[in-house]
Copies of this chain bind each other. A is one copy, B any other.
Amino acid sequence: MTAQKANPILVVGSMAFDDLELPSGTTNDVVGGSATYSSFAASTFAPVRVVAVVGDDFPEATLESMRARSIDTEGVERAPGRTFRWAGRYDADLAGRTTLDTQLNVFATFTPKLPPAYRETPIVLLGNIHPALQLDVLEQVRAPKLVVADTMNFWIQGEPKSLAALLKRIDTLVINDEEARELSGTHNISRAAREVLRRGPRRLIIKRGEHGALLFDDHGIFAAPGFPLENVVDPTGAGDSFAGGFVGYLAGQGQLSPLAMRRAMVHATATASYCVEAVGAARVARLSRADILERVASIRALYDYGASSM
């Protein structure tokens, strides 16, 4: 472990209630949203500043549990009305899901305003929201050292211009394989990556669910394996937890070298693997560094083939 200098992280995204139809049963009003998952995940490693909007109905207890993990919630605006809601049904094998309902509610008129103290944050995670809002947040941060953004098919299809502008402003894009194929118009994942990188970001992470994640940068390609879990309960928020773990590790290490990025991929995998073991953010909200170290060791074992003597 190298010298520790935990940089703060700015996380913007949604805070939400999710209604989840899971093979194990249906649970309503689960506290979720990309900012919630990413903030809890990142806070295992470094202090977090969160920007989001919630309605009258959002539990103060959740914000308190965030503050207890050194997540600054000054940037969480409480607006009159109801919190953003998402409802989804997962397939029996948890590999696919169908959106049943989306209610923007207070998110419909959200204009993120960064508290002055947030404007010097060196590491920024732009969670999956409208790319114009992501750009809007980015405009308010002074010279960040690392900007990581997530997006989804909805914006790839519906907001290509805003998204194209965003891609030119970020360091790292985090998407899943289907999104990479859609964004690039190319099926082959290596060629798709090359095309996405041509559009702006210097680094692309492609998440592949149980198959792990790939990092493409000018150092080459890195493959983080999926951790083979026997009990996957709820995949909701796994991608957000991955992104949070990724920036969290880098902020905690205080370095952004190619090898640090690769180690961050492994820590992100560890973080996401815990997330899916419980409904909602319950597990990721109480992750410890010891938990992460334990799973990182298990992931290292997946790789261990005595390479030095090969």
Contact = CB atoms under 8 A, between A and B. Distances in A.
Interface residues of A, number: 42
Contacts of A220: 301-302
B300 A263 contact: no
Contacts of A93: 187
A305 B262 contact: yes
A188 interface: yes
Contacts of A305: 222, 259, 262-263, 265-266
A263 B228 contact: no
Given A302-B223, A307-B303, A189 B210 contact: yes
B307 A189 contact: no
A259 to B, nearest CB: 4
A304 B222 contact: yes
A306 B221 contact: no
Interface string A9-47: 000000000000000000000000000000000000000
A194 B208 CA distance: 23
A30 to B, nearest CB: 22
Contacts of A262: 304-306
A289 to B, nearest CB: 13
B263 A306 contact: yes
Nearest to A230: B190
Which of A1, A222, A231 has its CB near the most chain B CB atoms (within 10 A)? A222
Given A188-B231, A296-B310, 15 more contacts: A1-B309, A2-B309, A188-B229, A188-B230, A189-B210, A190-B230, A208-B211, A212-B225, A220-B302, A223-B228, A223-B302, A259-B304, A262-B306, A263-B306, A263-B310
28 contacts: A93-B187, A188-B231, A188-B232, A190-B228, A190-B229, A194-B230, A211-B211, A211-B212, A220-B301, A221-B228, A221-B301, A221-B302, A222-B304, A222-B305, A223-B225, A223-B226, A223-B228, A223-B303, A225-B225, A259-B304, A262-B305, A262-B306, A263-B305, A266-B310, A296-B310, A300-B307, A300-B310, A303-B303
Top 10 A-B pairs, shortest CB-CB distance: A262-B305, A223-B225, A211-B211, A259-B306, A223-B302, A190-B228, A93-B187, A190-B230, A263-B305, A303-B303
